[in-house]
Amino acid sequence: MKRLISLLLVLALAGSFAGCGKKADEKADENLIGVAMPTQSLQRWNQDGANMKMMLEEKGYKVDLQYANNDVNTQIQQLENMITKKCKILVIASIDGSALTEVLRKAAENDIKVIAYDRLLMNSEHVDYYATFDNFKVGVIQGQYIEEKLGLKENPGPFNIELFAGSPDDNNALFFNGGAMSILQPYIDEGKLVVPSGQTEFSIIAIHAWNSATAQARMDNLITAHYADGKKLDAVLSPNDSLAIGIITSLTNAGYGTPEKPYPIITGQDCDKANVKAMIKGQQSMSIFKDTRTLAAKVVEMVEAIMKGEEAPVNDTETYYNGVKLVPSYLCEPVYADINNYKELLIDSGYYTEEDLQI
């Protein structure tokens, strides 16, 4: 009997210690949100991370914000840490959307919900929501800008264009390209638009890791191989600003930017400060403006709904198939900025100050 009582006592004590520990643990972690961003090397992700952290903290959440230096393994480790720390929700802007299947499985095993941020997470059923801008539309707007500035509807042409695409491990890159080509391909088929390099395949025009230097090197090669004879280059389809910077550097080095040899139409995306300055200097023609404040605010709404056990707001359930499931998505609206509207869009809205854009 004595032994039984002491055993019961020990058990009761152990139980209450475990209970204490758990309570303290739960308290510490009960509103921790993990935010995994790909890299600090591009302006936009710094803004995305900072906005998310600020807005979540304003709502009383704790935030574990990590940048992975564009290294997939670093991002996996960071996510594993977040799971160990018992984050309630993971918000992930991936580097390689297909490389996280295993760590997402671990998150699900630990009842952690997952929101794909800006880039879709592929090959996993454990992606609860996706918040992004309408990526196909981004490409459509870039294509339409080229169509309008070259007057493709009314002019017989032909006009020369070179095509670039984003990183092949980023699902967005395919959507941007698909959107732009939905506008440009008919003109190529008709012969109004000519690609002198003949390079139109996604796999050939894609720039790994959205790297500026790689884009610059490819543009150098295109100029040497296809434009050395003085052939006019009328437009370059660049899916984003980091590629546009490399393309502009290459063109400038090759003597573009003079009255005899003006810059072609060059598209972009993100409205990075350096690129808006390039627009002001007449080097880049346009950039898609994706207000990161809007995206962050939407993700915060999603986080709040999930924490309350409610459905998060979505406006698209048909577009983003990740290889396993259609991920319920919220698509924000992209618009374009160019020399004519950038002040209103970027300065009047408080996104940048005048000093930010001083050249």
- Range 210-229, binding ligand BGC (CB under 6 A): 210
Q: Which is nearer to ligand BGC, 147 or 170 (CB)?
A: 170
Binds ligand BGC by CB under 6 A, chosen from 44, 113, 218, 298: 44
- Taking the complex as a whole, the smallest distance from the CB of residue 170 to ligand BGC amounts, in Å, to 5
Strand ranges (E), the chain = 32-37, 62-67, 89-92, 113-117, 129-133, 159-163, 193-194, 235-237, 265-266, 286-289, 329-332, 335-338
- Range 101-120, binding ligand BGC (CB under 6 A): 118-119
- Taking the complex as a whole, the smallest distance from the CB of residue 290 to ligand BGC amounts, in Å, to 6
Binds ligand BGC by CB under 6 A, chosen from 212, 240, 287, 322: 240
Cβ atoms within 10 A of the Cβ of 186, count? 13
Q: Does 292 contact ligand BGC by CB under 6 A?
A: no
- Range 117-146, binding ligand BGC (CB under 6 A): 118-119
- Taking the complex as a whole, the smallest distance from the CB of residue 45 to ligand BGC amounts, in Å, to 7
- Range 192-211, binding ligand BGC (CB under 6 A): 210
Q: What is the DSSP pairing of strand 286-289 with strand 335-338?
A: antiparallel
CB closest to ligand BGC, residue no: 240
> Can you tell me whether residue 214 is helix, strand or coil?
helix
Ranges of H-type helices in 206-240: 212-222
> What six digits make up the tokens of 301?
């709404």
> Can you tell me whether residue 309 is helix, strand or coil?
coil
Ranges of H-type helices in 230-321: 241-253, 273-280, 292-307
Binds ligand BGC by CB under 6 A, chosen from 33, 36, 42, 233: 42
- Taking the complex as a whole, the smallest distance from the CB of residue 49 to ligand BGC amounts, in Å, to 13
- Taking the complex as a whole, the smallest distance from the CB of residue 131 to ligand BGC amounts, in Å, to 12
Spatial strand order in the sheet of 159-163: 193-194, 159-163, 235-237, 265-266
Binds ligand BGC by CB under 6 A, chosen from 51, 70, 75, 172: 172
Do residues 231 and 180 lie in contact, with contact meaning Cβ atoms separated by under 8 Å? no
Binding positions for ligand BGC, rule: CB under 6 A: 42, 44, 118-119, 170, 172, 210, 240, 242, 269-270
